[in-house]
Amino acid sequence: MPTKHYFTHDTFTLLRILHKEKSVDVYLANSDAFCGSVQDPFQDVFQEVAQKLPRSLKKLLITEKDVFCRTHDAQHILDFYWGAFTFRSGAFSGAKLFMWINHHMLQFGLCSGPVHKDKPWLQTQNNISIPKVSADEWLQDKRNNMEFSTTLTKDEVLSFKREQFVAFVVSTFEKIYTRLSIFDETTHTPRKNIHYPIKKCAADTHISYKKISMWLRAIRHKKHAIIYGPPGTGKTYLAERLAQVILNEKTGISTTVQFHSSYSYEDFIQGLRPQEDGSYRITNGTFLRFCEQAKQQDAPSVLIIDEINRAAIDRVFGELMYLLEYRDRSITLLSGETFSIPPQVHIIGTMNTADKSIAILDYALRRRFAFIPLYPDYSLIQKFSYDKKCNIKALTSTLQSLNNEISDQNFQIGTSFFLTADLADHIENIWRFQIEPYIEEYFFNELHRVERYRWNKICKKITQI
């Protein structure tokens, strides 16, 4: 039956004895107790950490051999115990994820200095504090004994239960690797985004420069925005282009996630997730992982949430609702960590009003976002460049007539269905298999209103040049 904690008061008592008198006689007199209270629990926790590391990180590490230190030889006794996983190759070759414990503290993290079994670098840390450095500095000069680490006092170590302690170590190793992995492995500098000015965005979206500028001001001011409108209006396309403008020539990052009915708080923020060995551990969700990467960049970053209203937003966001309104504050997560949204993070959501109108959204959610409307713009069909001729005027008038029949602008059909260069070759399939099923569903109890918009009724008008 495993004990409730890995380390006990006996662990630190034995290490204090060795710290006071580093002699072979003292060690041999306490060797059984040392193995039972220091060495064995340390190796147990480190091996369990190895099992629970994310596969993407574990495959880069040597975790099977030469992991732990030798406790003594004929010349000297160690008054601490350590273990380290070495990176196999690549930009982090020679770096190590380490953990060590002495009579008053435990420390774990990543170091770039050498680890020799007979002369561990960790001996120098008992009384010396190594200054923290940026990931970029660390990657550029591995000759220095640099580190990213977390230090726990004796009391903090003793307060952790077994599962909590392993989860904390694993999540710290994962965060450190995430922080370093966003740097280019060749140049060791953050990647820059392409030059994408507002003028280019306006040209690509066929939306006026003035309107794009106004929307960007709203996004930058509020930090959170939702582009809403009926299907086929290009909401996702616009969100991606606005994100490009925000990232313009800087080192920020952009990620897209799509919500759905099963999307949960655990997926987005943090929660207990099953592991390959059948156990569970606290794992960061999409948003926390994004923020961890974004805060390493001194530039705006954008998270795009596609179909944001497909999930139960209040449940998925949880305490994030508080932080969306109070950006300068923090919350305590399930893991016990303190979290706040980095100031450079922007959120752009897209919302299909055919699924849910903004009128029925929770007011608490509505006041936390800027809402950008995007309704059918028939001029886009006129401006688009097609490979073959098609009766664009007839198509436009037919679409306008159909949308007037629908009347509710939240359910009208957008123009992006028809913004394809080879429209003449695919217009029949688009209308039969995308437009007709949609209007059949909308007019499910008035199917007679659909009949005049069947393909066989409109095809001659649209295809006739």
The SS3 of residue 51 is: helix
Taking 70 as the threshold, does the pLDDT of residue 348 lie above it?
Answer: yes
Q: What is the pLDDT of residues 34-45, one digit of tens each?
A: 889 988 999 999
Q: Is 312 exposed, middle or buried (0-12, 13-18, 19+ CB in 10 A)?
A: middle
| Cα-trace Rg, the chain | 30
Q: pTM of this prediction?
A: 0.62
Q: Strands 345-352 and 301-306: what pairing?
A: parallel
* pLDDT tens digits, one per residue of 287-313: 998 998 888 788 899 999 999 988 888
Position 367 scores a pLDDT of 82
How do residues 429-449 score in pLDDT, each as one tens digit? 999 999 999 999 999 888 889
CA distance 90 to 76: 35
Residue ranges of domains in the chain, CATH in brackets: 9-181 (3.30.930), 198-373 (3.40.50.300), 379-463 (no CATH)
- Rounded to whole angstroms, what are the CA distances from 369 to 39, 114, 219, 340, 365? 53, 50, 9, 18, 7
Mean pLDDT highest for which of 132-141, 275-284, 387-396?
387-396
| Separation CA 97–CA 50 (nearest Å) | 10
pLDDT at 177: 73
How high is the mean pLDDT of the chain? Answer: 81
